[in-house]
Amino acid sequence: MSRSTAEQRAQQAQTYPTTSRLLAEVFGTFLLVFGGVGTALYASAFPDAQNATGVGFLGVALAFGLTVMAGVYAVGHISGGHFNPAVTVGLAIAGRTEWRHVPGYIVAQLVGGVVASSALAAIAANGPSGYLAAAQAKGFASNGFGASSPGGFGLGAVLLTEIILTGVFVTVILSITAKPEYKAIAPLGIGLTLTLIHLISIPVSNTSVNPARSIAAAVYGGPTALAQVWVFIVAPLVGAAVAGLLHRQLSRTRALTLGD
């Protein structure tokens, strides 16, 4: 029986020293936050007479999808290309990542995210007068519920959305990386899935499905963003855990059926 792409990637990642794997996760998470949150901060306004270059929700969704795709293509062979604590936990629960790597990966992801949001804040501080203050007053592209939700959605709706969509995201990652024939297009499929997730949930929660992304933005988003960030830590981890458990159970059932 041939090894899955995920197993090959995991084994290949073992050939790199721990420092290289962690730096790859820092880089990938930095790219994700800098590209996605940066687009939300600087280019998301809908085009109008005053802003002819606004990209809107679609542009922000594409930015997050493209950055994760680029990151996986660039350094996925080194670390596995998680860039997301929920993905790391989900893959560990599914048996596709060793638990001994989880703490280091999560720390690296948080560092990459905060470095990216700090760079974005520094750029905003050097922008037009009051740009940084205005961005922070609007939450600095943070996730939120209630008055902090782009569409005014409540806590229950945001929790459910984040749990479901993180579960979907981790399930797609687990499935698409298990098929050797999909090796070349796996980053594309993962990126497009993240784009779809953002198209669905930007109006609801401003889309997290990634605690590192949420924490990075909340650091500069003000007291409300910091007070609500727990939702975007808990919900993605729950969704990822459910996806990991289901994948592990289905894999066991298949192995028993095939007599492996």
pLDDT tens digit string along 18-28? 999 999 999 99
Q: Determine the pLDDT at residue 7.
A: 54
How confident is residue 76, by pLDDT bands cut at 50, 70 and 90? very high
Q: Does domain 5-258 have CATH number 3.40.50.10070?
A: no
Share of the chain above pLDDT 70, in %: 88
Alpha-carbon span 179 to 2, nearest angstrom: 10
Based on the number of CB atoms within 10 Å of its own CB, is 196 exposed (0-12), middle (13-18) or buried (19 or more)? middle
pLDDT at residue 112 above 90?
Answer: yes
When pLDDT is averaged across residues 61-79 and rounded to a whole number, the result is 97
pLDDT at residue 3 above 50?
Answer: no
Q: Determine the pLDDT at residue 220.
A: 98
The encoded tokens of residue 147 equal: 């008055």
Worst-scoring range by mean pLDDT, 193-197, 248-252, 253-257? Answer: 253-257
pLDDT tens digit string along 7-59? 555 555 568 999 999 999 999 999 999 999 999 999 886 555 666 667 889 99
The encoded tokens of residue 188 equal: 């594309």
Q: Determine the pLDDT at residue 15.
A: 82
Rounded to two decimals, the pTM is: 0.90
Exposure b/e, 21-49, CB count within 10 A at least 16 = b: bbbbbbbbbbbbbbbbbbbbbbebeeeee
Alpha-carbon span 42 to 161, nearest angstrom: 26
* Mean model confidence pLDDT for the chain: 91
Torsional sign, CA 100, 105, 110, 114: positive
Based on the number of CB atoms within 10 Å of its own CB, is 90 exposed (0-12), middle (13-18) or buried (19 or more)? buried
